Amino acid sequence: MKKLCLVLLFSITLCQAMAQGNWQLKKNENGIFVYTRTAANGNLKELRVVCEFDATKAQLITTLQDIDHYKDWVYSSKKTEILKTPSAQKTIYYTQSNLPWPIKDRDLVVELDIGPPEADVLYIQAKSLPAYLPKNDKFVRVPYSLATWRITQAPDRKLKIDYTFSVDPGGSIPSWLVNATMSIGPYNSFVKLKEVLKQGKRN
């Protein structure tokens, strides 16, 4: 009986892992592919963006570290400011997101960690630090957010980006609404990012 329970438990876990790994294409425009999948825990979805830009790793790093200009390309960004720069590759910043009424605006603290630029594959992580600052009553503090970038540079100056993102926005936003609109913001952000890199504004 014990062995049967273990087999059933393994089968259920395997099925959950396989279900979680199935990315579904939700948007394909301007060379930007947006996928979603159901998260292992909870009702929210995870998001993945795959694209290729005419840029270099150095240009992307400079753009991501230019926190003050996030409002130029990050969807719904209302305000961003650097709180601390522990090292040349790590930045802690505060950001506010402007959401449509009647949803209350969100804020969060993010730790941006950029891997060694000289590596063949550049890894970048942006994770939330919800307890880093006291909460502001005007905003709902995002309790969890994690974005990862996997960057490779092709010989023809093509920058291949594989970006994944998961978030718990907190507050009372229905999960179905978050899931229904999740691809809109990241897609628009990558469209703008493509323009910024093309124009060379952050070189």
Q: For the segment 17-26, what is each residue's pLDDT rounded down to a tens digit? A: 334 469 999 9
Residue 6 lies in a domain: no
Is the residue at 5 inside a domain?
A: no
Of these ranges, 7-11, 14-18, 125-129, 171-175, the one predicted with the greatest mean pLDDT is 125-129
**Does the structure show a pLDDT above 90 at 157?**
no
Q: Domain tally for the chain?
A: 1
Q: pTM of the entire structure?
A: 0.84
Q: Does 17 map to a domain? A: no
CATH code where residue 74 lies: 3.30.530.20
Residues spanned by the domain of 125: 22-199
Cα 8 from Cα 143, distance rounded (Å): 34
User: Is residue 56 in a domain?
Assistant: yes
The verdict on residue 75 lying in a domain is yes
Terminus-to-terminus CA distance in the chain, angstroms? 64
Identity of the amino acid at 108: L
pLDDT confidence of residue 21: 63
